[in-house]
Structure 1
Amino acid sequence: MVPDRVDPVSGYRWYAPGQLDEARLLARLRRAGMPLADVRLVLAGWAGADTDLVRQLLRAHLRRLEQGLSDTRAEFSALRALLDHRENPMTSLRTDTAVRLSLSGPGLAAALDAVRFAAGTDPELPMLGGILFDVEGHALCLVATDRYRMAVARAAADGYDGPRVQVTVPLPLADAMRALLDGEGRVRLAVDGDRVTLETGSRQAAGQCLDHDFPDYRRLVRLPAGRRAVVDAPAFREAVRTGPVRAGEGREEGGTPAGLSVLEVTEDGSVTLAGDGADGRDLVAVNRAFLLDALTAGGDGRLILEFGDPTAPLAIRRPDDAHTFSLLMPVRLED
């Protein structure tokens, strides 16, 4: 920002009253941590009334901040795990004791189907490239997430009364397990160190678990109470598939722009899909493809949609199963 004049003795810079708005803008950008190179571009766009350029630069900086915050949270999660292990070295969730479980084949198949869509495929995040098998009590909890969505399901299990055990099963092995679950009988799941095996009759799928710690999903699923709406899953899927779509900033596989579905809960408790002209603080935008995946995984009955504020995850639950649900991170709508 060029001063109106500079004191030749003290070097103090003086600005004209007409530069006040620009000075305030500069101060806000610096407080937001924007790099100086981008600050100069924003000021140039501001002076030239190039609002498109200014918005693009602001969005790009916001994405950098959000990514940095996500990375920082991941590091702090790892640090907390290290601290917990240091304070309680005997509380590791991996065990050298062999775990043997007996489960319903259809029950395990349904749990895998309910979470598979949310698993990550980013090679830079290998800890998300699998499905968490969390054994505690008489239940096997399955969890998958790619950071933008999360799915959780539970299957009843017998045969193990030991401490909680967690392993992350890589996606190819999880898919091989699912391919075996085509019968009605019970199946056997074994965890022996870093190796997991599923047996169905004379067939089996076995392999190594991922050597990465899965995020602490229990911290992420504790959501404050919000508005709830009941939808008929097939009808709502069709409404989402054929309803209005807004363009998002991200990209789908293949390079096409990500489509957003903008949801709104009406006064009578129903959910509508808002068009481009809709505006309001209660609108919640989510990735349309992710929403369709979650609705499909939810089955063909009724589903409960839980809305918090516009920045809280959208929860999709089954009314008859409190332990099976998915979460979708909202997408910020452009002003």
Structure 2
Amino acid sequence: MRSIGGMARDSGLSVSALRFYDRAGVLVPAWVDPVSGYRWYGPEQVDEARLLARLRRAGMPLADIRLVLAGWSSADTGLVRKLLEAHLRRLERGLSDARGEFSTLRALLERRERPMTMLRTATARMTVSAPELAAALDAVRFAAGTDPELPMLGGVLFDIEGDALHVVATDRYRMAVARVGTTGHGGPRVQVIVPSPLVDAMRALSSDDASVQLTVDGDRVALETAGREAAGQCLDHDFPDYRRLLHLPAGHRVLIDVRAFQKAVENGPVRASEARQDGVCGDLSVLKVAADGVTVCDEGDDDPDNVAVNRAFLLDALAAGARDQLILEFGGPTAPLAVRRTDTEDTFSILMPVRLEH
């Protein structure tokens, strides 16, 4: 007999997935301890679990998986073959339909005007408080992308409009935004994507003086202070319209003590995930939220309202908040989690959740 942990290791299914398939009646344990409720699996169920994992990776519906598992050990495998062939045909039709849709989308993109091109060829010059700029870059730098397939995310967006500079970074799984006041521009909107190495050089330059000069001239950006300069070419790409991503569903807003919560996340239980974020399968922290606080759940808590997030990403966001207290804003288990400061609505980060059930 194998425990649920041993079954997870041997089958490639997560513990939470095994619990889900038990509740769904797809892979029921051979025995459940009537006292502890702990699940135990027979040796013959390992092959079934591995088969189940393969079928789910192939996207087969649970209703068909039940029939495949029921017929797998039968002498007559005709039903299993028909189910596999039918699912393969569905996948092929779906791929064909997707190719058609993407061809249409490419044609639409080719005909669209690109307003970002105008924003990236404008000029602007302004004075910025060096400490405020340094704090803003610290608040967003952790969220910049590193995926070579998405070079437009490999830096920080400098979005200048009127007397405000918004700095924004995202790697798709998290996004961070901060606002800095400026003087001397007051003009139309200008946007440039500053590559991450240049962002780091600008951050180092902003650590000493009271103010710095920020200049954007087409595809070149420069930060100047007394006798020193950090300058270079901007990324020749368009950044996503981040403003459309800021409207989150209403939910719980919980004030947390950052140091105590960091310790709870660092030392609390984690769950492995098959979902990849930023190219990595990371440990998840599962959070239970109530009006009076947030706790890190143990392995046995399968409340469907719990929120699972990448633990490393959550710790990064808490550190970037740079405050003793922060607000965690939960919209639900599938809605982004927002980490906000208490003193301003203009500096915050957003983390995408990870579904625990497959």
Would you call these one fold, judging by a TM-score over 0.5?
yes
Corresponding residue for 1:93?
Answer: 119
Say whether 1:83 aligns with 2:112.
yes
Corresponding residue for 1:14?
Answer: none
Q: What value does the CA root-mean-square deviation take over the aligned residues?
A: 3.1
Aligned residue identity for 1:140:
L
Q: Distance in 1 between matches of 2:128 and 2:58?
A: 48
Change (3 A) 1:162 1:185: same
Unmatched tracts of structure 1, length 5 or more: 1-46
Identity %: 61
Aligned residue identity for 1:261:
S
Question: What is the number of equivalent residue pairs in this alignment?
Answer: 277
Unmatched tracts of structure 2, length 5 or more: 1-44, 61-90
Corresponding residue for 1:334?
Answer: 357
Say whether 1:279 aligns with 2:277.
no
Q: Is the 8 A contact 1:234 1:300 kept in 2?
A: no
Corresponding residue for 2:245?
Answer: 220
Q: Is the 8 A contact 1:233 1:298 kept in 2?
A: no
Aligned residue identity for 1:83:
R
Say whether 1:230 aligns with 2:282.
no
Corresponding residue for 2:205?
Answer: 180
Say whether 1:258 aligns with 2:282.
yes
Change (3 A) 1:219 1:209: same
Q: Deviations over 1:282-302 (max 9, x none)?
A: 100000000000000011321
Q: Deviations over 1:242-273 (max 9, x none)?
A: 11111111568997x5100001113x420000
Partner of 1:222, secondary structure, is coil
Change (3 A) 1:193 1:219: same
Change (3 A) 1:104 1:192: same
Q: Distance in 2 between matches of 1:276 and 1:92?
A: 52
Partner of 1:249, secondary structure, is coil
Q: Is the 8 A contact 2:173 2:278 kept in 1?
A: no
Q: Distance in 1 between matches of 2:206 and 2:341?
A: 22
1:126 aligns with one of 148, 151, 157: 151
Change (3 A) 1:80 1:218: farther
Distance apart, 1:146 and its partner CA: 0.5
Corresponding residue for 1:148?
Answer: 173
Say whether 1:51 aligns with 2:49.
yes
Q: Distance in 1 between matches of 2:329 and 2:137?
A: 23
Q: What TM-score, normalized to structure 2? A: 0.71
Where in structure 2 are the equivalents of 1:53-68 lying within 5 Å?
Answer: 53-59=51-57, 61=59
Q: What TM-score, normalized to structure 1? A: 0.75
